[in-house]
Amino acid sequence: MSHLFTPLELGPLKLDNRIVIAPMCQYSADDGNATSWHTIHLGTLAQSGAGLLILEASAVLPEGRISPRDLGLWNDDNEAALKTVLDQVRAWSPMPIGIQLAHAGRKASTHRPWEGGAQIRPDQDSGWQTRAPSELPFADHEQAPEPLSEDEIGELIEAFVAAAKRARRLGLDLIEIHGAHGYLLHEFLSPLSNRRADRYGGSLENRMRLLLEVFEAVREAVPEMAVGVRVSATDWAADGWDLEQTVALAKALKARGCHFIHVSSGGLTPAQKIPVGPGYQTALAARIKAESGLTTIAVGLITEPEQAETLLASGQADAVGLARGILYNPRWPWHAAARLGATIHASPQYLRSEPYSARGLFKQ
The residues that are catalytic are: 183
Closest CA to 49 of 357, 358, 337, 356: 337
Closest CA to 188 of 213, 165, 208: 208
- Report whether 338 contacts 361 (CB < 8 A): yes
Phi, psi (deg, nearest 5) at residue 16 = -75, -30
Tell me how crowded residue 275 is: count the other CB atoms within 10 A of its CB. 7
Q: How many residues does the chain have?
A: 364
| CA separation for the pair 99, 107 (Å, rounded) | 20
Alpha-carbon distance values, 317 to 18, 93, 105, 119, 181 (Å)? 10, 27, 29, 36, 20
H helix runs in 257-304, sequence order? 282-292
- Residue 299 exposure: Cα atoms within 13 Å on the Cβ side: 24
Amino acid identity for residue 184 in this structure: L
Closest CA to 175 of 13, 16, 300: 13
- Report whether 300 contacts 282 (CB < 8 A): yes
Closest CA to 168 of 28, 22, 13: 13
Helix axes 150-169, 204-221, angle to 10 degrees: 30
